Amino acid sequence: MSTSVARVVVCLEEVGAEYERVDIDFAAKEHRASPDHLNRNPFGQFPAFQDGDLLLLESRAIGRYILRKYKTGDVDLLREGNPRDAAMVDMATEVEAHQYTPAISPIVYECIFHPAMRGTPASTKVVDESLEKLRKVLEVYEARLGGGAPPPRLSYFPFTFYFMVTPYAPLFDEYPRVKGWWERLAARPSVRKLAAGMAISPEAIRRSFNG
């Protein structure tokens, strides 16, 4: 259910790496109390990632590590063979973190997570303000998505997936280039596999967080 965890797992699925998912009891705040978890993520957050003696936190950094370590053949989503292309990938990830996610995430929380976990209705004020911010971001994306298909940006997947099951999904119809980019990303086998197991009903969300 965690968008940050999903951001890591989709990278693992993309490269076909074997991995073990260690569940924690969110409702019991195990992520803040378990010594094992705090050893991996001393901030008491998630994800926490371990590969041998390497411990990593922060989902985007973990994702880059995975894509870098398990790069095979011509599958180089980080474009590290070309400094210019690699810089563009890094920039896209930063834009996702600091522009896209702050605009889209409040809509997802208000429409999906808060009603399921707290039983509270969506705040119209928060949603309207966030939609306005998201429109401005999508306008920039639409203008910059020119000819050719851009590389997939896996970090965009989790929040966009959840946004697309809110009543505001038709917003993407106003931006055909952005919508085409999302459809290509959503069609990737790694994304389709992970999306199939991500809870979207209120009951499933409650079960996920409360065991």
124 — pLDDT class (breaks 50, 70, 90): very high
Convert 78-96 into a string of H (helix), E (strand) and C (coil): CCCCCHHHHHHHHHHHHHH
Q: Output the pLDDT for position 211.
A: 44
| pLDDT digits 0-9 by tens, 88-110 | 889 999 999 999 999 999 999 99
**Per-residue pLDDT reduced to its tens digit, 163-183:** 998 999 999 999 999 999 999
* 32 DSSP β-pair partners: none
What does pTM read for this prediction? 0.88
- Three-state SS at 189: helix
Q: CATH says 83-210 is which class?
A: mainly alpha
Closest alpha carbon to 200 in 104, 110, 113: 113
For residue 46, give the DSSP letter. S
Task: Tell me how many degrees the CA angle 99-188-107 measures, rounded to the nearest 5.
Answer: 35
- Tell me the C-alpha distance between 22 and 128, whole Å: 37
What is the Cα–Cα distance from 52 to 4, expressed in whole angstroms? Answer: 21
**The pLDDT of residue 146 is above 90:** no
Task: Say which CATH superfamily domain 3-69 falls into.
Answer: Glutaredoxin (3.40.30.10)
Lowest mean pLDDT among 17-26, 61-70, 172-181, 184-193: 17-26
Are 65 and 77 in contact, with CB atoms under 8 Å apart? no
Domain pair 3-69 / 83-210, same fold: no
Q: Quickly count: other Cβ atoms within 10 Å of residue 96's Cβ.
A: 22
Query: Where in the chain are the domains?
Result: 3-69, 83-210
- Given a cut of 90, whether residue 60 has pLDDT beyond it is yes
